[in-house]
């Protein structure tokens, strides 16, 4: 475990934290005026390996060779020239910091960090972090990598869970949840929707599925996974050639067949490493899913219940009503899709570039 301290004076800026993988939805912008919860679990931090935040350069200002050296193979609106390695934590895990009033970028409903670091070290005044809490953004504090230092905490160690231990914990991510507009009271302006986390996870996975398709149709298993992916795959891929078959694979699942072309597998929530089978097929393409999303797809719960307050005596079972289903069909997150696809070398193919160029039309058609 670690604490982060000010690079200027050494003052402590966080509680003790253990490192986990960067969430797929870390930079997601969801809807308009939506109240999203805290991004990180208390007591954890994640590192973004890529630059993020101001200053930005538009694609016209960037040499394609420079972009390719940064692992970006197709045009994007803009690239950050900020320092890589920003550290994201839960706002409640900060210590010894103050907001900088003149750095209040955002203010639709909160702060968005557009003006650069908006939190300073209380001891020396050095700008050290950006507080994000604007509408439609995940609430977080991003520590500036060039303004903080990581220090280990003595006599503490965060255990790395095995796949078997993760399966025993069973922490799946429900596919739909109640969504609220910013500032709404309990019970008002709330509706049941597909989970923003699922939409971001599907956006990343869909980019990989298209790359793995090699321009051929792709089929996925029936049920919830079909509801999430098949409609977009059918719209974005041509019909006719023999289809490539995608299957769920991972801990606790039967070994994939030798003729499986694509494997939908989980990422480890602490390390971000993708699960691999004991005897992987040389030609199978692994498509990553966040562990909580994968777990729900691989071992779906019978139904979700409407959250209720209060408890029940021991031995008494609840009889909660099933949660309402979302009113609209599933749509993958276009931002996560684009962010992933431009970083896959396969996007150099003309047919994949055309999907990116027509992304707005695909969004209007309800595929994203």
Give the mean pLDDT per block of 10 residues along the chain (368 residues). 96 96 96 92 96 89 92 93 95 96 77 89 97 94 97 80 94 90 64 93 98 95 94 93 92 88 96 87 87 95 58 62 78 96 96 94 92
pLDDT number for residue 86: 96
The SS3 call for residue 298 is helix
Dist CA 225 CA 227 (whole Å):
5
Dist CA 18 CA 268 (whole Å):
15
pLDDT number for residue 287: 97
Which residues, at least 6 apart from 306, have a Cβ–Cβ distance to it below 8 Å? 320, 321, 322, 323, 324
pLDDT number for residue 259: 82
pLDDT number for residue 192: 85
Pairing of the two strands 244-248 and 218-219:
parallel
- Contact at 8 Å (CB) between 73 and 347? yes
pLDDT number for residue 215: 93
pLDDT number for residue 316: 62
pLDDT number for residue 105: 67
Inter-helix orientation angle 224-236/291-298, to 10°: 110
Name the token pair of 212. 């793995």
pLDDT number for residue 155: 67
pLDDT number for residue 53: 82
pLDDT number for residue 111: 87
pTM for this structure? Answer: 0.90
**CA-based max dimension of the chain:** 66
pLDDT number for residue 311: 61
């Amino acid at each position: 475990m670690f604490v982060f301290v000010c690079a200027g004076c050494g003052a402590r800026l966080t509680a003790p934290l253990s490192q986990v993988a960067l969430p797929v939805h870390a930079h997601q912008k969801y809807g308009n005026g939506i109240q999203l919860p805290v991004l990180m679990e208390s007591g954890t931090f994640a590192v973004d390996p890529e630059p993020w935040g101001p200053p930005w350069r538009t694609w016209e200002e960037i040499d394609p060779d420079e972009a390719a050296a940064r692992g970006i193979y197709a045009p994007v609106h803009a690239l950050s020239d900020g320092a890589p390695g920003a550290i994201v934590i839960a706002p409640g895990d900060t210590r010894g910091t103050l907001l900088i009033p003149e750095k209040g970028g955002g203010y639709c409903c909160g702060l968005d960090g557009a003006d650069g670091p908006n939190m300073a070290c209380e001891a020396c005044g050095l700008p050290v972090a950006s507080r994000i809490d604007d509408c439609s953004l995940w609430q977080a504090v991003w520590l500036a990598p060039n303004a903080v230092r990581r220090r280990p905490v003595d006599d503490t160690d965060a255990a790395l869970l095995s796949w078997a231990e993760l399966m025993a914990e069973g922490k799946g991510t429900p596919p739909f949840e109640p969504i609220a507009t910013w500032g709404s009271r309990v019970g008002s302006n709330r509706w049941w929707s597909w989970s923003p986390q699922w939409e971001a996870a599907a956006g990343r996975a869909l980019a990989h599925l298209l790359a793995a398709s090699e321009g051929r149709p792709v089929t996925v298993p029936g049920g919830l996974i079909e509801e999430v992916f098949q409609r977009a795959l059918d719209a974005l891929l041509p019909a006719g050639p023999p289809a490539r078959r995608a299957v769920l694979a991972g801990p606790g699942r039967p070994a994939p067949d030798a003729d499986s072309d694509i494997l939908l597998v989980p990422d480890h929530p602490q390390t971000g490493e993708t699960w691999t089978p004991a005897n992987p097929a040389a030609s199978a393409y692994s498509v990553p899913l966040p562990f909580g999303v994968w777990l729900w797809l691989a071992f779906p719960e019978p139904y979700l219940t409407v959250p209720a307050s209060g408890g029940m005596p021991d031995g008494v079972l609840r009889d909660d009503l099933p949660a309402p289903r979302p009113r609209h069909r599933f749509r993958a997150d276009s931002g996560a899709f684009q962010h992933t696809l431009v970083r896959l070398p396969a996007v150099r193919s003309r047919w994949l570039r055309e999907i990116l160029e027509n992304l707005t039309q695909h969004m209007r058609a309800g595929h994203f």
